[in-house]
């Protein structure tokens, strides 16, 4: 299929505006465009990643050392621009006080599937406008320095808790990127607005935020409840984790940028499963593998295997844990 005649083709500025509009129609917000060329800021972000890895802060997450993370051209040869998108997961639902807690990002459908599917729709739309274009959809499972590129595209700044923050949307949004070989006008990079605030650092019960912008996964409740395959949680984690059994939102809960009237999502894909808001720990501890499979179908929390789910619940209830075979 050939390119559209020149008189029918949108200018780069018009195409950029139309692309953003299409992203908004798909439920993304905020959205922003960046130049896929590592400037001084991105070089500093890449150097910070290397220091973080060298310090062992990634724990067992060896995929964080994938060399493609520092070289965006290896993800899409010829990439010139990227569209960064946010998916708001700030829903109206509230967890029952005193119940075991699941991080909000895991309440709805698997965000990897949701964001990837919508980005692919966006890529196909882009092909209709410029048939010669090549593109690639990226969610956080791709080896992309995603938060740094989102910051470059003006989506928000990386806070001291290492989450992206938007001045009017807070940090309750997931991010994705559409890499493209088209050259499109970029938005201004976001500037950090955390100032002297240290609420997230002070609130972390395990001291995982060892200094501003540096999170040591070895001390992080979210890492241990979701990523760690160890048969038992470290005592420092198990004694501090309550009520968290799947992820942790403490550093975002205390952020002043989330203490404002934020947009609330009505997106069906982001709405919580009722049992997650009123989790009965003793009952959940007795789930069979089939029960777990049914409850967590199409959920990002499937990364937590059944034996890990029981391990986390037992640790929160201070029952100890027999290990993977339980």
95 to each of 27, 82, 163, 280, 301, how far by Cα in Å?
24, 36, 22, 12, 17
CB atoms within 10 A of CB 136: 19
- Token look-up 């050392």 returns 65
Catalytic residues, by residue number, are: 140
The secondary structure element, H or E, covering residue 201 is helix 199-203
Measured over the CA atoms of residue 305, residue 308, residue 314 and residue 316, the dihedral's sign is negative
What span, in angstroms and rounded, lies between the C-alpha atoms of 271 and 3?
A: 41
CB atoms within 10 A of CB 285: 17
What span, in angstroms and rounded, lies between the C-alpha atoms of 96 and 87?
A: 24
302 to each of 12, 89, 243, 297, how far by Cα in Å?
41, 18, 19, 7
């Amino acid at each position: 299929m050939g390119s559209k005649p020149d008189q029918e083709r949108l200018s780069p500025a018009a195409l950029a505006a139309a692309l953003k509009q299409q992203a908004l129609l798909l439920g993304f917000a905020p959205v922003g465009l960046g130049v896929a060329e590592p400037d001084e800021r991105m070089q500093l972000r890449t150097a910070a990643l290397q220091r973080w890895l060298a310090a062992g802060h990634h724990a067992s997450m060896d995929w964080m050392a994938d060399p493609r993370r520092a070289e965006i051209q290896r993800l899409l040869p010829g990439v010139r621009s990227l569209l960064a998108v946010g998916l708001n997961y700030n829903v109206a639902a509230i967890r029952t006080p005193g119940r075991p807690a699941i991080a909000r990002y895991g309440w709805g459908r698997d965000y990897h599937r949701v964001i990837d599917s919508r980005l692919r729709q966006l890529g196909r739309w882009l092909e209709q406008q410029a048939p010669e274009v090549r593109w690639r959809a990226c969610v956080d499972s791709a080896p992309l320095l995603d938060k740094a590129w989102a910051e470059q595209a003006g989506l928000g700044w990386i806070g001291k808790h290492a989450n992206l923050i938007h001045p009017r949307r807070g940090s309750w949004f997931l991010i994705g990127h559409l890499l493209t070989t088209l050259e499109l006008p970029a938005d201004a990079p976001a500037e950090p607005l955390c100032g002297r605030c240290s609420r997230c650092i002070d609130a972390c019960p395990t001291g995982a935020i060892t200094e501003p912008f540096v999170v040591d996964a070895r001390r992080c409740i979210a890492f241990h409840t979701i990523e760690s395959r160890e048969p038992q949680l470290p005592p420092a984690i198990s004694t501090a984790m309550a009520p968290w059994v799947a992820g942790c939102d403490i550093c975002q809960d205390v952020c002043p940028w989330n203490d404002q009237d934020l947009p609330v999502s009505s997106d069906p894909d982001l709405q919580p499963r009722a049992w997650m808001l009123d989790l009965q720990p003793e009952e959940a501890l007795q789930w069979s593998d089939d029960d777990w499979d049914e409850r967590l179908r199409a959920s990002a929390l499937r990364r937590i295997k059944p034996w890990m789910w029981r391990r986390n619940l037992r640790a929160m209830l201070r029952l100890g844990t027999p290990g993977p075979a339980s």
